[in-house]
Amino acid sequence: MGAGQLARMMGDAAHGAGVILTVLATSPDDSAVATADAAIYGSPDDVRALDELCAKVDVITFDHELVDLDQISVLEARGVMIRPNARALRFAVDKGHQRRAFDAAGIPVPRFIVVTSKNDPMLKGFLDSVGPPVLKAARGGYDGRGVLFPQSRVETLAMIDELSRTTSVVIEERLSLRSELALVVVRGLHGYANYPLVSTVQSKGMCVEVRYPADVDEATQHEANRLGRKIADLVGAVGVLAIEFFLSDRGLFVNEIALRPHNTGHWTIEGARTSQFTNHLLAVSGRPLGSTEPIVASAVMVNVVGADEPGSIERASEIPGAHVHDYGKSWRPGRKLGHVTVVGDDASAAHVTAWESARAYGTRTRET
């Protein structure tokens, strides 16, 4: 379900994983239609299109979390194989549910409350104790949309009022971040594996760059591995599960999870023995997982986000060492159009080359 760039890259990996991929797309222009074996057209909640999809495939998986969980549960009750299932998907669809369940399981998360209005009786006490908070729409946000950083109490209340018209609101302490990290794990029916931690660089709530290896000590990697296993089992994930972490002076905190291949795992296409896309397809089709071992000393992935003027994919691709992945989307300022990965022994040279290529391609984001 879904035919964006993640499904497109699953399409590239499908035949190698022994999978025939059919996508539920909204239009023939959708990114994944070009690489899939077949496409069915309709919105993710279009009953007719879903029925057509169910009749055609053995297992359904996702490239986004903007799904109707009630509808997915109905399909499951009918015997349709859905991986990850509705129970697992709820963790990614509803940030309030995710925070509460992780907190109850002893998984470290920022201090938080979930409210449905600015009149919640818990609100004043919580805001007095944490200072300026971060506000998050419990449902429907992505790439920083739905995440707000109010500057004053008046602004906080106004923003909660606005967000709570459409969704409940997670209010949490604003941590002082040393860095942001991500762990991509794969949970199959008979196995579990994880890729090593990566560092992520964010600009305006959007990930702009991913670096392997992460700049962390062994204890941090070890703790992330432990949490990754615990979360995968708690959620009951099948397929790729990506965990975004905050590293603060108080240690690791889980920010959020996604139950699908993730932007922070794109480097595995060139950088690991088995890519996250192949492993996702192997996992959801019930087969043994591939090795998650890196095959390079370092990798840098830079997202290409449409600049004010379109650039040139050809010029970007001519830069030696740049692996340019174009998502086949029409250019629009601010739109994620593709990514560039550079691997090698020298991490800082890879960083320079990846940005040079991304700039030629026409990225709006800046080198950090």
List residues near ligand ADP by CB under 6 A: 110, 134, 136, 141-147, 172, 174-175, 177, 180, 202, 205, 244, 255-256
Q: Are 263 and 207 in contact (CB under 8 A)?
A: yes
The SS3 of residue 326 is strand
CB of 59 or CB of 175, closer to ligand ADP: 175
Instruction: Give least dist CB 297 to ligand ADP, A.
Output: 26
What letter would DSSP give residue 290? Answer: P
- Nearer residue to ligand ADP within complex by CB, 54 or 175: 175
Cβ at position 193, least distance to ligand ADP in Å: 24
β-pairing verdict for 239-248 and 38-41? unpaired
Q: Which is nearer to ligand ADP, 86 or 170 (CB)?
A: 170
For ligand ADP, give the closer residue by CB, 26 or 202.
Answer: 202
CB of 109 to ligand ADP, least distance (A): 9
**Shortest Cβ distance from residue 176 to ligand ADP (Å)?**
8
CB of 18 to ligand ADP, least distance (A): 33
Nearest approach in angstroms of CB 20 to ligand ADP is 32
Rounded CA-CA distance 185/265 in Å is 9
Closest CB to ligand ADP among residues 30, 172: 172
Q: What share of the chain is helix, strand, coil (3-state, %, to 5)?
A: 35, 25, 40
Spatial contact of 198 and 212, defined as CB atoms under 8 Å apart: yes
User: Judged by CB, which is closer to ligand ADP: 133, or 362?
Assistant: 133
Q: Which neighbouring-strand residues pair with 115?
A: 169
Q: Decide: 288 and 190 in contact? Cβ < 8 Å.
A: yes
Cis before 121? omega within 30? no
Query: Can you tell me the distance from the alpha carbon of 177 to that of 37, in angstroms, rounded to the nearest whole number?
Result: 43
